[in-house]
Structure 1
Amino acid sequence: MPSADRRLQPRRKPRQVRAELTRERILAAAAHVFAEYGYAAGTTNRIAEHARVSIGSLYQYFPNKDALLAELMVRHIDRGTWTEADRLDLSPGSLEPLIRALVRDAIDHHRDDPQLLRIMIEETSFSQDLVDAIDRHGRSRVEQVRGLLARHPDVHVRDLGAAAELIVFTVEANTHKLMADPRTLPVETLENELVDMITRYLRGNAGGNDEGSGA
């Protein structure tokens, strides 16, 4: 995990509704400007103009455009909670639909704006808030997936913890890469190939080592 850059720490945490609305307007403007003009041309002056605030007001909340992009990435990560996981079928024969639900959730989370996603992946520097968000999301998703694998009768792997980490990394890394440039591979192909690959992996040691099938 990269170390946090102190220059990116937001300057002001809103305590009043009006200040929070201003901050939200600045972030919405930053997302629009980065997506429309790109990162290099997405200056703080242009963002302030789009948000209809003075440049001084923008700097009260964010010290630079790197801090704005880092905060957009934090929000992107925090929106990635897999809320349907607790309602999935874990009966025998349901492993493929379970993995498809996991992959589709990741894809759906990255559909909105490929241009902004590409900029966030390529240009974002690491604020402390972003480092914390990545760690928080990673631990939560791995534990969530591990819990599902532990309860599914069709899963046969040697190490549930390692399997969960590999699956989460594989899904998120490939989803980030291909959804940022969907022209490289059809989304349906991405989904189907990831589902097939992960499902075969989880079934691969069936009848061999039973250690992984427990909690």
Structure 2
Amino acid sequence: MTSDRRRLQPRKQPRQIRAELTRQRILTAAAHVFAEHGYAAGTTNRIAEQARISIGSLYQYYPNKDAILVELVTRHLDTGMDATYRRQNGELPESIEEIIRVFVRIAIENHLEDSQLLRVMVEQAPRSPELLEKIYRHEQVRVAFVRELLDGHPEVRIDDTHTAARLVVSTVELVVHQLIAAPEPIDIPRFENELVAMLTRYLTAAPAERG
């Protein structure tokens, strides 16, 4: 287990600006290579060539391409959570529909990168224990925040707000991931409207209407 964990971690945490810039070049190059060639053909040699560094220099930072992909997924997750936290700490709209729209739009915007790269991250990234723990912690924070919103909102007609919050958080994350990463392009404004409408109706419909 320890060796597997080490295999998915960076080898060196940069302490100087130059080293950090090199790591950024590796990650940028890897994103480009994975998007263009896919994961199987996205070798460390190609990444090093794209980053214009030697393969030996790359290995000073990452032991393999799995560790690079885990780092890309971690940064993708952190970017999305930073955007969510900023919005949670700001002023939200009054209606439940527009509140849901805010969080759907944040999720969509966080996934509007190259769809091929997103597919690689979703389908092929190894899940290190640290990454799984990070995903779990972020999910718990989002669920707690959404439950608090639902508990205090007059339009919400759900009794079990904890389960409802989990459903909303999971649905937004999974559906956005799945459809934006799909090979067939999707109409983003229509997708946003339909997802918002679906979740709003679920939260505001009378129990008899949901049944």
Class of the TM-score when normalised by the shorter of the 2 chains: 0.7 to 0.9
Q: Does 1:98 align with 2:99?
A: yes
Q: Counterpart of 2:87?
A: 84
Give the root-mean-square deviation of aligned CA atoms.
Answer: 1.9
The Cα shift of 1:195 comes to 1.1
Q: What residue is the counterpart of 1:63 in the other structure?
A: 63
Write out the 4+ residue segments of structure 1 that deviate beyond 6 Å after TM superposition: none
Specify whether residues 5 and 177 from structure 1 end up closer, same or farther in structure 2 by C-alpha distance, changes over 3 A only: farther
Alignment of 1:136-151 (within 5 A): 136-151=137-152
Rounded to whole Å, the distance in 1 between the matches of 2:27 and 2:188 is 28
Counterpart residue identity of residue 55, structure 1: I
Q: Could you tell me how far apart the structure 2 residues matched to 1:135 and 1:184 are? A: 29
Equivalent residue, structure 2, for 1:10: 10
Q: TM-score, normalised by structure 1?
A: 0.86
Percent sequence identity over matched residues?
Answer: 57
SS at match of 2:80: coil
| 31-40 or 151-160, larger mean C-alpha shift | 151-160
How many Å apart are 1:205 and its aligned residue?
Answer: 3.8
Q: 1:187 deviation in Å?
A: 2.0
2:191 maps to which residue? 190
**1: distance between equivalents of 2:17 and 2:145?**
34
Kept in 2: contact 1:8–1:70 (CA 8 A): yes
Determine if contact 1:78/1:133 at 8 Å carries over to the other structure: no
List runs of 5+ in structure 1 lacking aligned partners: 208-215
For 2:168, the equivalent position in structure 1 comes to 167
For structure 2, the 5+ residue unaligned runs are none
Q: How many residues align?
A: 201
- Which has the bigger relative contact order, CA under 8 A and spacing at least 6? 1
- Counterpart code for 2:139: G
1:42 paired to 2:42: yes
- The answer to whether the 8 Å contact 1:156/1:206 transfers is yes
Cα gap change, 1:87/1:182 in structure 2, threshold over 3 Å: closer, same or farther?
Answer: farther
**Partner of residue 33, structure 1:** 33
Q: SS state of the match for residue 36, structure 1?
A: helix
Paired residues of 1:71 and 1:130 also in contact (CA < 8 A):
no
TM-superposed deviation, 1:18:
1.6
Q: Hey, which of these two has a bigger chunk of helix by percent?
A: 2
The Cα of 1:146 is off from its aligned counterpart by 1.8
Partner residue in 2 for 1:51 = 51
